[in-house]
Amino acid sequence: MIDLHCHSHYSDGALSPKELLQKALAQQITCLSLTDHDTIAGYPELHEAALNKPIRIIQGIEFSTLWKKYEIHLLGYQFVPNEAFYELIERQNTARIERAQKIGAALGLSGVKEAYDKACEIAGHKRVGRPHFACVLVNEGKTRDMQSAFKQFLGRGKSAYVPTSWVSLEEAVSVINQAGGQAVIAHPLKYGLTRTKLHELIKDFKDAGGIGIEVVSGGMTLLQIREMALASQRFNLRASSGSDYHSDIVSYMNLGRQQQLPVQCTPIWQHWNI
Ligand code: MN
Ligand code: MN
Ligand code: MN
């Protein structure tokens, strides 16, 4: 069993890399990639925990990127991080912080004082993001719950919505490739794109040097999987598979429990020697 998409507490997952590995072993996963958002900080711990265990660890990451006006998630595998790779991680981190500061300022205009500091306090050792601002809004009595915080303030088009200046899709693909890795479009049906737009995305991605698409992701229906399998064949892309596991509470799918990859697909791991 293989799972090439999951998160640890180094991004927005609940488990430590060590706990994630224990879970993977219990689920009889033999090949695992940790794909935290814009960080590879969980890897030393993961590699250490996997020593002498019957499991293969694949270096991975999930970059947030910008393509046209859409935020597209890009998975990178099998790279050996070089200077440009670390630089990109650093840039993404800065973009995240700057966005949070702007959200804080925007909430200040709505009468929430020191929202950024308060959100950072709630985030603790985690990177600060919109869910933490939603908590602040609830704590300050500005909204009923987290969901309405997004509806009233933080969601797209609302007063405290701030787009993040992520790296472009093309540049992220190129950085992954130059580090010897392989780029894959994550959960292609989660962006709300029309089929025409999705195909346009795939073409641009291929032109940039991308080679794979996540045909199976946790939460996808069999029909959607079949459609993405066809797309992978039509565009001659390798197919990837992952649960996108975050925690037992918020995930669609337990670690390694996503659907099987359809047999007509060419797996991304075909030449990985696993
Ligand atoms: Mn996530
Ligand atoms: Mn994602
Ligand atoms: Mn993910």
Residues with CB under 5 A from ligand 3 (ion): 62, 244
Question: Contact 3/258 with Cβ under 8 angstroms?
Answer: yes
Query: Distance from the CA of 186 to the center of ligand 2, in angstroms?
Result: 6
Q: Which residues contact 17 (CB under 8 A, 6 or more apart)?
A: 8, 10, 34, 42, 43, 45, 46, 49
The pLDDT, as a whole number, for residue 243 is 96
Q: What is the pTM of this model?
A: 0.93
The pLDDT, as a whole number, for residue 96 is 95
CA neighbours closer than 13 Å in the CB half-sphere of residue 177 = 15
Q: Which numbered ligand comes closest to the C-alpha of 218?
A: 3
The pLDDT, as a whole number, for residue 125 is 82
Sheet strand arrangement including 182-185: 167-168, 60-67, 70-77, 182-185, 212-217, 238-242
The pLDDT, as a whole number, for residue 203 is 98
Taking Cα atoms as reference points, which of 242, 247, 269 lies closest to residue 23? 247
The pLDDT, as a whole number, for residue 65 is 98
211-238 in b/e form (b: 16+ CB < 10 A) is bbbbbbbbebeeebbebbbebbeeeebb
The pLDDT, as a whole number, for residue 28 is 96
Query: Distance from the CA of 34 to the center of ligand 1, in angstroms?
Result: 12
Query: Distance from the CA of 166 to the center of ligand 1, in angstroms?
Result: 15
Query: Distance from the CA of 11 to the center of ligand 1, in angstroms?
Result: 7
Query: Distance from the CA of 111 to the center of ligand 2, in angstroms?
Result: 32
The pLDDT, as a whole number, for residue 126 is 85
The pLDDT, as a whole number, for residue 34 is 98
Query: Distance from the CA of 53 to the center of ligand 3, in angstroms?
Result: 25
Ordered mean pLDDT values, 10 residues apiece, the chain (274 residues): 96 95 96 97 98 97 97 98 98 96 96 95 90 95 94 95 95 98 98 97 98 96 97 98 92 87 96 85
Q: Which residues contact 13 (CB under 8 A, 6 or more apart)?
A: 6, 7, 20, 36, 245, 246, 247
Query: Distance from the CA of 158 to the center of ligand 3, in angstroms?
Result: 25
Query: Distance from the CA of 73 to the center of ligand 2, in angstroms?
Result: 5
The pLDDT, as a whole number, for residue 271 is 87
What is the distance between the alpha carbons of residues 216 and 197, in angstroms, rounded to a whole number? Answer: 20
Query: Distance from the CA of 37 to the center of ligand 1, in angstroms?
Result: 7
Query: Distance from the CA of 63 to the center of ligand 3, in angstroms?
Result: 9
